[in-house]
Amino acid sequence: MKTVDPLLTLELYPWAMAGGEASLSTPLSKLSRVAQATLPPAHDHMPVCQWQLHSQLKHPDTLKQLWVHLKASLLVEQICQRCLLPMPVSLEVDRHFRFVADEATALAEDDDCDEDLLSPAPELTLLALLEDELLLAMPLIARHGVCDEPLPVQPEQDAPHPFAALAGLKLGKQ
């Protein structure tokens, strides 16, 4: 049975409102969505995500903006789409988030700000935020800059032309 750190399951907004700070090491096995998008780790080496999360109330006298800063790093393996061999992929996250009142406000303000906007939601936990950001940090197509070993070239066999059978059918009708 897998146990999850109780801190990971906390709702993000109340945790941040309480002035939350965390520096954690979380094994890949506890990040199920990230683990599904990567190669299974070797039995002797389980990748560990090192991450820090810090909340801060900015402009407490006027705007009372709640901000969260997430930094995370994780080294995983994916399949290179050129040579089809495993390759290491370093996932790095360094993001600032600002909480807004609701989803409509987030959509309205999104184009005019550099930070990411979040609305308070019970389903948004520290674990969900961490996994979302690690998934977004993954390359769309994992590939080496230059592959060491090209794909093996299979010798061409004397395969019949794909339309040869159709030509035979056409000749039979005349």
pLDDT tens for 21-36 read 888 899 998 999 999 9
Helices (H), the chain: 12-17, 32-36, 103-109, 126-137, 164-173
Q: How far is CA 56 from CA 6, 36, 161, in A?
A: 21, 33, 68
pLDDT for 73:
96
Distance CA 117, CA 136 (A): 15
3 state DSSP class of 49: strand
What percent of the chain shows pLDDT beyond 70? 83
Which residue in the block uniquely carries the two structure tokens 């993954």? 138
Q: Which residue has the tokens 């994992």?
A: 142
Report whether 41 contacts 47 (CB < 8 A): yes
Whole-model pTM: value is 0.75
pLDDT, residue 32, reads 92
Report strand pairing: 48-58 vs 116-118: unpaired
21 within 8 A of 43, measured Cβ to Cβ: no
* Whole-number average pLDDT of the chain: 82
> Whole-angstrom Cα distance, residue 111 to residue 42?
43
Q: What is the pLDDT of residue 49?
A: 94
Alpha-carbon distance of 105 to 108, in angstroms, equals: 5
